Amino acid sequence: MSCVQPLLEIRDLRKIYPAPRGKAGVVRAVDGVSFSVRSGECFGLLGPNGAGKSTTLEIAEGILSATSGEVLYKGAARGPGFREEVGVQFQNTELPLYLSVRETLEFFSNLFTRRMPLAELIALCRLDDILERDNRKISGGQKQRLLLAMALVNDPDLVFLDEPTTGLDPQARRHLWDIVQRVRARGKTVILTTHYMEEAQILCDRLVIMDHGKIIAEGTPRELLDKHCAGASVVLPGATGAAALSGLPWKAFDTGEGVEVLTEDVSATVRALLERGFDLSRMSVRSRNLEDLFLLLTGKDLRA
C-alpha cells in the first residue's frame, strides 16, 4: 500500500433509487463501492451494462448526488475549484447544434479559466481535418474524438471517460486508445469505464470489476489474471449442454454462442468432453483474459 495520497478516493459509495412502479423494494445502483485512484495512473471500471459503473463515475464527477458515502479529491471534499481541474466525457451527449468543431472547442474552452492552447488540443485529438465541419456532419469516431477534446479543453489533472469507445469500429477504437495513451503520457490521471476487456487490458494500470453495483475484483490486469485465471479456456462454438460437465472440477458455461470450459488441465478437459459425446471439430483453446475472469466471477458474459 502506497503512503502517497490518492488523487481521488471513493469511500463506501451508495446510490439507491426507489424500485420501478409496480415493484417492491429499492434499486441499489451502487452498493458500497470503495476505491482510490493515484495520480498519473489510468484506472478502469469494468463491468456489463447496468453494473453501476456510469453511476459511480457520475457521482465522482459531481453530476449525481450519492445516497451515502464520500468522494475525496486531493484528500478533501470537492471544492469550487474541482470543475476547473477535471475533464468529463459522458457516454451519450449531443453536441451543440449549428456549431463547427472549432467553434465547439472555442466555446467549451472559454467556459474555463485554465485552458489548453487550442492548437495543442487539436493536434492531440487529431481534429485538424474536420475543424470547420458542422458537428452534425461528423462520423461516430470523429464525434468521440471531439467529445474527448471537449473533456481536455481545460488541461485537466483528472479525466473521466465514460465508455469512450462504445459503438466504434475497431480502427476508430484504436485511434481513441492512442489518444488516451498520449493524454496519459502528459501526466494526466484517467478514470474510464468500459465493457471491453481488451480496452481495460491495454489502457488501465489498475481496475475494478463491478457487477450489480458492487466491486467483485480489484487489481492490475496481470494480478487479476494471475490470481483468477491461471489456465486456459476451452471453447466449443455452437455446442450446448454445459450441465453435462457439472461433475468435473472445472467451471463450464453455456455462453449463448457455445460452451466454454475454464480449466487448469486442457488434456483432461478434452478427454472428459470426448467421453460425454461433445463434437470437438470446431474446438479452440486459448489463454484466459478478463472476459473469462468476469465469466468466472459472475457466471455471465461481460457484454450480455
Partner 1 sequence: MMRRILWMMRTRNREFFRDRSSLGWNLAFPLLIVAGFALIFSGRASQLIQVGIVGGPEAARPAFAELLAAKHTSFVVVDSAERGLDRVRHHRLDLLLDPGASPPRYWISESSPKGYFAEKLLLSGGGAAGSAAGLSREAVSGRDIPYVEWVFPGVLGMNLMFSALWGVGWVVVRYRKNGVLKRLRATPVSAFEFLSAQILSRILLLVGVAAFVYGTIWLIYRFECRGSLALLGFTFALGAVSMIAIGLLVASRTQSEEFANGILNFVSMPMMFLSEVWFSLESAPGWVRAAAGQLPLTHLVKASRAIMNDGAGLAQVQGHLFALALTGAFLLALASAIFKWERD
Q: Which residues bind partner 1 (CB under 8 A)?
A: 61, 63-65, 83-84, 88, 90, 92-94, 96-99, 103, 107-108, 110-113, 150
Q: How far is the CB of 90 from partner 1 (least distance, A)?
A: 6
Smallest gap from Cβ 104 to partner 1, in A, equals: 9
* Identity of the residue, 107 or 254, whose beta carbon is nearer to partner 1 in the bound complex: 107
Q: Which is nearer to partner 1, 92 or 240 (CB)?
A: 92
Min CB(136)–partner 1 separation in Å: 11
Nearer to partner 1 (CB atom), residue 93 or residue 240: 93
Closer of 98 and 246 to partner 1 (Cβ): 98
Residue closer to partner 1, measured from CB, 30 or 224: 30
| Closer residue to partner 1, CB minimum distance, 63 or 230 | 63
CB of 121 to partner 1, least distance (A): 15
Query: Which pairs count as long-range contacts for 249-253, CB under 8 Å and 24+ apart, including other chains?
Result: 251/296, 253/295, 253/299
One DSSP character per residue, the chain reads: ---SPPSEEEEEEEEEEEPPTT--SEEEEEEEEEEEE-TT-EEEEE--TTSSHHHHHHHHHTSS--SEEEEEETTEE--TTHHHHEEEE-SS-PPPTT-BHHHHHHHHHTT-SS---HHHHHHHTT-GGGTTSBGGGS-HHHHHHHHHHHHHTT--SEEEEESTTTT--HHHHHHHHHHHHHHHHTT-EEEEEES-HHHHHHH-SEEEEEETTEEEEEE-HHHHHHHH--SEEEEEET---GGGGTTSSSEEEE-SSEEEEEES-HHHHHHHHHHTT---TT-EEEE--HHHHHHHHHSS-TT-
Pick 61 or 157: Cβ nearer partner 1: 61
CB of 132 to partner 1, least distance (A): 14
Considering the complex, what minimum distance in angstroms separates the CB of residue 96 from partner 1?
6
Cα 89 to Cα 61, 226, 278, distances in angstroms = 10, 32, 47
